[in-house]
Amino acid sequence: MALLSVTQALERVLAGARPLPADEVPLADADGRVLAYDLKARRTQPPADMSAMDGYAVRAADVAGAPVRLKIIGEVAAGRPFKAVVGAGEAARIFTGGVVPSGADAIVVQELAKKLEGGFVEVEKPSSKGRHIRAQGLDFRAGDLLLAKGHRLTARDLQLAAGMNHPLVPVHRRPKLAMFATGDELVAPGTEPGPGQIVHSNGFALAALARTEGAEVIDLGVVGDKLDETVAAVHEARILGADILLTTGGASVGDYDLVQAAFAKEGMALSFWKVAMRPGRPLMHGRLGAMAVLGVPGNPVSSYVCALLFLVPLIRLLCGRSDLATPTETAQLGCDLSENDERADYLRALLRDGPEGAVATPFPIQDSSMMTPLAKADCLVVRAPHAPAAKAGEPCTIMRLPR
């Protein structure tokens, strides 16, 4: 099978994928989720004319010739409306959020009023009609469409939805992602590795990345280099109803790379397993019924870069998002680079402010097994296949890494 370009491979990963069905969730669980339907206001806000300040509800005509003395006929607190009508020469003590009583059409702030003995108040300065009053429906009215289908909810949106009187919101269901790593050489962190063994690390980065993007992660652990164990893990992912199965390692063609064989045994339709990129050439994709399958390489940097380029867009699409790919931008190279071969390069780099904008400097060693440069990197310098040699100071394309 010929090498696909990154663009072609991503098109295949996303082909046929659709946002998952709607799920009604409490507001507390909706941050970052995408609305599956339009959301309309169930109430009017404010529900009545309300005071924006502490002071006195008056008739603007009565205070036009201030200073004037008015009779206090009652008190209006938030949540306790005043039922009497404010007539000529009268005022009602009112607090922020109180419903403006009938007859009143202005608020005199308390700093401009002096309470007198005998139940009177002296208003020192005039207040115009509507002054310090939040009119009914100033924010929104019942039936207004305020949050549209496809919108990704922020903290501010949750505040608005609550004000609209929605305890639950219809959002796309979180994708269920099952994942496992393969390799007899892998041991858990905290374990003393034996001869030839290494500590399993990829899964922690990939699970964190998937959760950040909104997926529900089911970690099936590490599977040994045995076909029956690998098949059992694939089968378990299907039983659990995973929307995506992510595997790390074992997707190549070595004697102990059994993932493809296990998927074939389960009946997977293979889409591709080689991509013209570095790191991450042996990347596998296919489908097992409704479950998308993505097999990323075992090298730590390869697994992360492949997940960033292919897994993240797939999760976002299933979540209902439209901003699928990590955006790119232009920076300046901080060092010389040699010409590129037939594969697209994704170089870990540091990003610093320069006199003419951001400067991206790739690490001198780009070995895909090295986790320290990946952890320290701010971005990836993206180089197209067959890119010519580039000098420091020339423009380059970068992709910022999640923080």
The alpha-helical segments, DSSP class H, found in 91-201 are 155-163
Structure tokens that stand for 118 in this block: 């005998």
Q: Which of 30-34, 212-216, 249-253 has the lowest mean pLDDT?
A: 249-253
**Given pLDDT bands bounded at 50, 70 and 90, which one contains residue 108?**
very high
Can you list the positions of beta strands (E) in 290-343?
A: 291-296, 329-333
pLDDT digits (tens, 9 = 90+) for 182-212: 988 999 999 999 998 999 999 999 999 999 9
Residues 22-44+150-171, CATH architecture: Alpha-Beta Complex (3.90)
Given a cut of 90, whether residue 225 has pLDDT beyond it is no
Mean pLDDT taken over the chain:
94
Q: Write the Ramachandran bin of 103: left for phi over 0, alpha for psi from -120 to 50, otherwise beta.
A: left
pTM: 0.89
What is the average pLDDT across 312-322? 97
Given a cut of 50, whether residue 161 has pLDDT beyond it is yes
pLDDT at site 256: 47
**Given pLDDT bands bounded at 50, 70 and 90, which one contains residue 250?**
low
Residues 329-400, CATH architecture: Beta Barrel (2.40)
pLDDT digits (tens, 9 = 90+) for 129-145: 999 999 999 999 999 99
pLDDT at site 227: 87
Q: Is the dihedral of CA 188, 189, 192, 193 positive or negative?
A: positive
What is the average pLDDT across 221-245? 92
Residues of the chain with CATH 3.90.105.10: 22-44+150-171
Domain 50-134 part of CATH 1.10.510.10: no
pLDDT at site 116: 93
Amino acid at residue number 260: Q
Structure tokens that stand for 202 in this block: 């990829």
What is the average pLDDT across 338-365? 96
pLDDT digits (tens, 9 = 90+) for 26-59: 999 999 999 999 999 999 999 999 999 999 999 9
Residues of the chain with CATH 2.40.340.10: 329-400
CB 265 within 8 A of CB 228: no
Percent of the chain with pLDDT over 70: 98
Tell me the CA distances in angstroms from 396 to 6, 163, 232, 296, 314, one per residue in order.
18, 46, 45, 26, 26
Given a cut of 80, whether residue 374 has pLDDT beyond it is yes
Q: Which long-range contacts (CB under 8 A, 24 or more apart) does 69-75 make?
A: 69/116, 69/120, 69/121, 69/122, 69/123, 70/120, 70/121, 70/122, 70/123, 71/119, 71/120, 72/115, 72/119, 72/120, 72/121, 74/101
What is the average pLDDT across 177-183? 94
Residues 6-20+174-319, CATH architecture: 3-Layer(aba) Sandwich (3.40)
Which is more confidently placed, 227 or 165? 165
**CA separation for the pair 399, 92 (Å, rounded):** 61
Q: Which of 283-292, 306-315, 392-401 has the lowest mean pLDDT?
A: 283-292
pLDDT at site 3: 86
